[in-house]
């Protein structure tokens, strides 16, 4: 049988072996049509006297990537759980496992989720050594639904089975073995599954860029990259390239800085070996691809430059003017700036078509997001090449437009500002962090500031103030922290105290800095702290972020709203199980968010106590529903 590209075929050899092949490119996902075809073929094989045994396999070198996740999306849209066919009992138990004719799964490439469950319903399995086997259902917020929770422990033992099912980011387990199919259907329609299925597809759509990936261009090979600046970011970027077999020239201004950069790279690589994600051999290979440089002589044959120096406009401009002259004409000229307008960076060059932003997130060799910033003049070829490099170095590239802070830092600039505003109103720093961590962020905004260091915050302060005008909160909290000898994690002293090997501990002595800040800010009505619930705190931090996200979408800084979901999850650690920032905002609802933003704006404007407004409150509403811009 066949429907579109979905096929299930059966060939019966003279030896009586029926070879059943499932095909649904690219991963032979189990669409209901394919499942129906599989049932037909198993029924036919059972009937036919010339069939003595069955071999089940997948076309195109892949056994099966599991149940078709598009069906979950349909279930989420319609609420109709009956769209999911009965596979567990009717096909896997009755027709395969209980079938009179022996069937063997021939596995190549991958057997994941429902794919592995089909294989486990067979009487035996043969697999190529490199095939990926697993039950990754938890990453979609569900449990295996075709008998996997039962058969896997019997086949590989309980500890290994649990490892194969729990090796997902959710890290939770539902103790319902006997109720598998029922629980599976309940979980499919639960909010967590809706959010995670959304993230699955959203992540895969970030690299579909109209005018770039659909115009028959081919990515050029990037063999050698020059990284300028061996600080935290530069050494992280170099590490990410090196472990993916891309040669790197690391340029610094003097031997001491170069040595420090090389040391950091070696440390990063050793860290990856310790975590078990890199072998020692690969670490040595990576180090052999690194070359240090104090001038541009090695830049003559590089395919890409990534500048990662401090956020100083004149410095970046002079670097770009230099590299334009030295590098070959095809070379992509990228900057890792997190804030500065790319047109300004490239102002002193005539190479605007190959200037692009490659914004990594710290630590760059670990964080999965790569924000690719294009200007109106960046060529589609340069964008495609960077998308391709991003994939090679195992990042998720998100292509965004050029503006102050680009998509991620711009959307999240009210995140820090909201937290400062709350502190000025009398709310405790550590309570704010607790509320935000409980929501699912990896850490609260103050711990994040400590970890990120105050240098960047101070460097970009003026740039934000200029770009965001009225929306900007003029806070001197970070300045006061620095004045008090605090630099965050770097010197072990910020809002928290950092001791080697220990967990960060709230520092009670930071209160005097906070008090001084409150005195400057004069925000507390009548000089008294305001009373807010945890929910107020959460909303006062995140709703202005949603508001800015609406502006970012409105100005087409992102191609689609779901790109912001991925950027927020992978760049800021927004909880994946909430589907990303915009998806979450949709679940809260634009009318509610709008009403809260309006109320705060009125409350605080009338009191004239705060410098910042809660964004342009009308913005969420003028996007009518946040979700209007969600991907289809």
Residues that bind ligand 3HC (CB under 6 A): 26-27, 29, 65-70, 110, 112-114, 117, 136-137, 140, 144-146, 148, 204
**3-state class of 522 per DSSP?**
coil
Strand runs labelled E in 5-107: 6-12, 17-23, 53-58, 103-107
Helix or strand holding residue 75 (H, E): helix 69-78
CB of 184 to ligand 3HC, least distance (A): 6
Query: Do residues 609 and 524 lie in contact, with contact meaning Cβ atoms separated by under 8 Å?
Result: yes
How far apart (Å, rounded) are the C-alpha atoms in residues 144 and 488?
44
Nearer to ligand 3HC, 57 or 378 (CB): 57
Shorter beta-carbon distance to ligand 3HC: residue 174 or 430:
174
Is 81:102 a contact under the CB 8 Å cutoff?
A: no
Residue 486 has φ and ψ, to the nearest 5°, of -105, 135
Closest distance of CB 135 from ligand 3HC, Å: 7
Q: Which residues contact 252 (CB under 8 A, 6 or more apart)?
A: 229, 230, 258, 260, 261, 292, 293, 294
Question: Which CB atom, from 156 or from 524, has the smaller least distance to ligand 3HC?
Answer: 156
Q: What is the DSSP string of 163-217?
A: HHHH-STT------GGGHHHHHHHHHTSHHHHHHHHHHHHHHHTT--TTTTSS--
* Shortest distance (Å) from residue 391 CB to ligand 3HC: 9
State the Cα–Cα distance between residues 376 and 386, nearest whole angstrom.
16
What does the alpha-carbon distance between residue 398 and residue 563 come to, in Å, rounded to a whole number?
A: 7
Going by C-beta distance under 8 Å and a sequence separation of 6 or more, which residues neighbour residue 29? 64, 65, 66, 67, 68, 69, 70
Distance CA 321, CA 467 (A): 25
Q: How far is the CB of 29 from ligand 3HC (least distance, A)?
A: 3
Smallest gap from residue 238 Cβ to ligand 3HC (A): 25
In angstroms, the CA 183 to CA 132 distance is 26
Task: Rank residues 65 and 234 by Cβ distance to ligand 3HC and give the closer one.
Answer: 65
Would you say 217 and 381 are in contact if contact means Cβ atoms under 8 Å apart?
A: yes
DSSP summary character for residue 440:
T
Supply the minimum distance, in Å, between the C-beta of residue 559 and ligand 3HC.
15
Residue (145 or 390) nearer to ligand 3HC, CB = 145
| Residue at shortest CB range from ligand 3HC | 113
Phi, psi of 482, rounded to the nearest 5 degrees: -65, -40
Return the number of the residue (210 or 267) whose C-beta is nearest ligand 3HC. Answer: 210
Residue 203 C-beta: closest distance to ligand 3HC, Å: 8
Least Å from the CB of residue 465 to ligand 3HC = 40
* Beta-sheet pairing, 6-12 with 17-23: antiparallel
Positions annotated as catalytic residues are 117, 137
* Residue 112 or 572 with smaller CB distance to ligand 3HC: 112
Q: What residue has token string 């200029």?
A: 466
- What is d(CA 265, CA 242) in angstroms, rounded to the nearest whole number? 9
- Pick 117 or 450: Cβ nearer ligand 3HC: 117
């Amino acid at each position: 049988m066949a429907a579109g590209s979905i096929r299930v075929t059966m060939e019966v050899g003279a030896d009586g072996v029926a070879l059943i092949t499932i095909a649904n490119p690219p991963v032979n996902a189990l669409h209901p049509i394919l499942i129906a075809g599989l049932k037909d073929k198993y029924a036919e094989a059972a009937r036919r006297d010339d069939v003595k045994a069955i071999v089940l396999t997948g076309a195109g070198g892949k056994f099966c990537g599991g149940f078709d996740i598009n069906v979950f999306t349909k279930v989420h849209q319609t609420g109709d759980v009956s769209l999911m066919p009965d596979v567990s009992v009717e096909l896997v138990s009755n027709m395969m496992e209980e079938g009179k004719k022996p069937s063997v799964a021939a596995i190549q490439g991958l057997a994941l989720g429902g794919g592995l469950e089909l294989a486990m319903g067979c009487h035996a399995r043969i697999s190529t050594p490199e095939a990926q086997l697993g039950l990754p259902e938890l990453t979609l917020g569900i449990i295996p639904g075709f008998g996997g929770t039962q058969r896997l422990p019997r086949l590989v033992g309980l500890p290994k089975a649990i490892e194969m099912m729990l090796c997902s980011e959710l890290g939770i387990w539902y103790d319902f073995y006997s109720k598998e199919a029922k629980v599976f259907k309940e979980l499919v329609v639960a909010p967590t599954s809706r959010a995670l299925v959304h993230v699955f597809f959203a992540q895969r759509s970030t690299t579909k860029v109209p005018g770039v990936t659909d115009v028959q261009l081919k990515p050029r090979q990037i063999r050698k990259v020059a990284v300028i600046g061996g600080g935290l970011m530069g050494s992280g970027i170099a590490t990410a390239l090196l472990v993916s077999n891309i040669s790197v020239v690391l340029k610094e201004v003097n031997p001491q800085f170069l040595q420090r950069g090389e040391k950091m790279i070696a440390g990063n690589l050793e860290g990856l070996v310790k975590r078990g994600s890199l072998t020692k051999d690969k670490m040595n290979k990576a180090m052999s691809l690194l070359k240090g440089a104090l001038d541009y002589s090695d830049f003559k044959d590089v395919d890409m430059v990534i500048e990662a120096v401090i956020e100083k406009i004149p410095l970046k401009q002079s670097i770009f003017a230099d590299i334009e002259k030295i590098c070959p004409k095809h070379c992509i000229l990228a900057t890792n700036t997190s804030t500065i307008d790319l047109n300004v960076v490239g102002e002193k060059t005539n190479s605007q078509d190959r200037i692009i932003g490659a914004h990594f997130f710290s630590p760059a060799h670990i964080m999965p997001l790569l924000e690719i910033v294009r200007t109106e003049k960046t060529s589609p070829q340069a964008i495609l090449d960077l998308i391709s490099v991003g994939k090679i170095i195992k990042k998720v590239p998100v292509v965004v437009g050029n503006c102050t802070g680009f998509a991620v830092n711009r959307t999240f600039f009210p995140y820090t500002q909201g937290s400062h505003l709350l502190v000025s109103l009398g709310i405790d720093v550590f309570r704010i962090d607790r509320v935000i961590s409980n929501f699912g962020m990896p850490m609260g905004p103050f711990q994040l500031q400590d970890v990120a260091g105050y240098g960047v915050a101070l460097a970009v302060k003026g740039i934000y103030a200029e770009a965001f005008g009225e929306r900007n909160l003029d806070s001197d909290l970070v300045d006061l922290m620095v004045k008090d000898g605090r630099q965050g994690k770097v010197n072990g002293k910020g809002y928290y105290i950092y001791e080697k090997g220990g967990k960060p501990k709230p520092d009670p002595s930071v209160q005097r800095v906070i008090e001084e800040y409150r005195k400057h800010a004069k925000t507390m009505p009548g000089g008294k702290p305001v009373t807010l619930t945890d929910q107020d705190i959460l909303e006062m931090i995140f709703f202005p972020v949603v508001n800015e996200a609406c502006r970012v979408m409105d100005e087409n800084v992102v191609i689609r709203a779901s790109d912001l979901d991925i950027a927020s999850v992978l760049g800021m650690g927004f909880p994946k199980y909430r589907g990303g920032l915009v998806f979450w905002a949709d679940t809260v609802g634009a009318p509610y968010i709008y009403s809260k933003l309006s109320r705060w704006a009125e409350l605080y404007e009338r009191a004239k106590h705060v410098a910042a407004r809660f964004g342009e409150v009308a913005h969420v509403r003028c996007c009518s529903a946040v979700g209007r811009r969600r991907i289809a």
